């Protein structure tokens, strides 16, 4: 199997509504500088594209997915950048027929009870399959397992995913509140970890305490010199490491870490 990175930024995207920073203004003027919301695609290790599973349906999904074929969608949690793309599978968009959507019990309840998501069920566009903490799904030689993690301000559970391929294990976790022994252990266990890099430091935005994430500075300190290849994703538009020529980006790369880029492929 292969993993393709389809998007790399926080839910508000780049450009970010209401922001006039140089990154956001440049993205408004030049579409090639836009960045899509964090998402990955699990696909077969060949050109046939016969197996395709999406992790997180972002509002940018119509740009991110090529072709019609999709075997299923795994949803990490109910925030804007992770679930709202499901609406594109409805009759105004793809008009899908019963695409399997793997969700936790709480996300299932949320989708089933709230418009406009509920309409996707009425119209048989999606088929909700319960996928809770500890559950796993085999995907042609790979195995994908859900792990519940802690993330604030969301009315569903939040799931991270351990993807065990034939040769490599990949841990994917775009949103958490703070590191725990368990989540650090999962990073350590993985060959490659694609993880929450929303902010560089806590001073980056005024309302950091309302939307806490472990900051890259701290994560690098905790995981320095581990064998795991660490790739940061879900970056906020304010994160200096998002910009290619900053001191922060240089420091991060010199210390052996990476920033996720759209189109990056990992063989597992
Ligand atoms: Zn998010
Ligand atoms: Zn901005
Ligand atoms: Zn979130």
Instruction: Provide the 10 A C-beta neighbour count for residue 204.
Output: 15
Contact (CB, 8 A) for 220 and 2: no
- pLDDT, position 140: 83
Total-model pTM: 0.97
Nearest-ligand number for the alpha carbon of 159: 3
* pLDDT computed for residue 49 by the predictor: 60
Spacing, Cα 48 to ligand 3 middle (Å): 33
- CA distance linking residue 142 with residue 172, whole number of Å: 14
Q: Which two tokens stand for residue 217?
A: 């500075």
Low-confidence ranges of the chain (pLDDT < 50): none
- Kindly report, residue by residue over 218-251, the tens digit of the pLDDT: 999 999 999 999 999 999 999 999 999 999 999 9
Domain range 2-267, CATH architecture: 4-Layer Sandwich (3.60)
Q: What is the pLDDT of residues 174-233, one digit of tens each?
A: 999 999 999 999 999 999 999 999 999 999 999 998 898 999 999 999 999 999 999 999
What's the gap in Å between 46 CA and the centre of ligand 3? 32
Place of tokens 């559970």: 157
pLDDT for position 67: 83
The closest alpha carbon to 171, from 221, 213, 223, belongs to 223
Q: How many angstroms is it from 50 CA to the middle of ligand 3?
A: 30
CA atoms within 13 A on the CB side of 184: 13
Ligand 3 centroid–CA 151 distance in Å is 7
Give me the pLDDT at residue 171, please. Answer: 98
Q: What is the distance in A from the centroid of ligand 1 to the CA of 48? A: 31
User: At a CB cut-off of 8 Å and minimum separation 6, what does 46 contact?
Assistant: none
17 is written with which tokens? 């509504």
| Ligand 2 mean position, distance from CA 24 (Å) | 4
Taking the centre of ligand 1 as the mean of its atom positions, its distance from the CA of residue 68, in whole angstroms, is 25
Q: Report pLDDT for 194.
A: 98
- Residue 44 confidence (pLDDT): 86
Where exactly are the structural domains of the chain? 2-267
What per-residue confidence (pLDDT) applies to 141?
84
């Amino acid at each position: 199997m292969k993993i393709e990175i389809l998007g790399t930024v926080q839910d508000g995207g780049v450009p970010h509504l209401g922001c006039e920073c140089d990154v956001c203004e440049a993205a408004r003027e030049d579409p090639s500088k836009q960045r899509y919301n964090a998402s990955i695609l699990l696909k077969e290790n060949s050109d046939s594209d016969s197996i395709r599973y999406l992790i997180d349906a972002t509002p940018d999904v119509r740009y991110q997915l090529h072709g019609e074929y999709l075997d299923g969608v795994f949803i990490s949690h109910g925030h804007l950048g992770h679930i709202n793309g499901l609406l594109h599978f409805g009759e105004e968009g793809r008009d899908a027929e019963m695409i399997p959507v793997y969700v936790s019990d709480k996300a299932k309840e949320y989708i089933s009870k709230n418009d406009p998501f509920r309409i996707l069920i009425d119209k048989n566009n999606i088929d909700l399959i319960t996928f809770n903490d500890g559950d796993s799904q085999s995907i042609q030689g790979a195995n994908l397992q859900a792990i519940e993690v802690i993330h604030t301000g969301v009315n569903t559970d939040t799931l991270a995913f351990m993807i065990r391929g034939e040769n490599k294990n990949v841990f994917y976790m775009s949103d958490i509140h703070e590191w725990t022994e368990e989540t650090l252990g999962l990073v350590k266990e993985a060959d490659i970890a694609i993880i929450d890099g929303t902010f560089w430091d806590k001073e980056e935005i005024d309302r950091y305490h309302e939307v806490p994430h472990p900051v890259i500075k701290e994560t690098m300190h905790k995981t320095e010199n581990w064998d795991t290849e660490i790739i940061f994703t879900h970056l906020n538009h304010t994160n200096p490491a998002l910009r290619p020529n900053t001191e922060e980006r240089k420091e991060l790369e010199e210390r052996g870490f990476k920033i996720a880029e759209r189109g990056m492929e990992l063989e597992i």
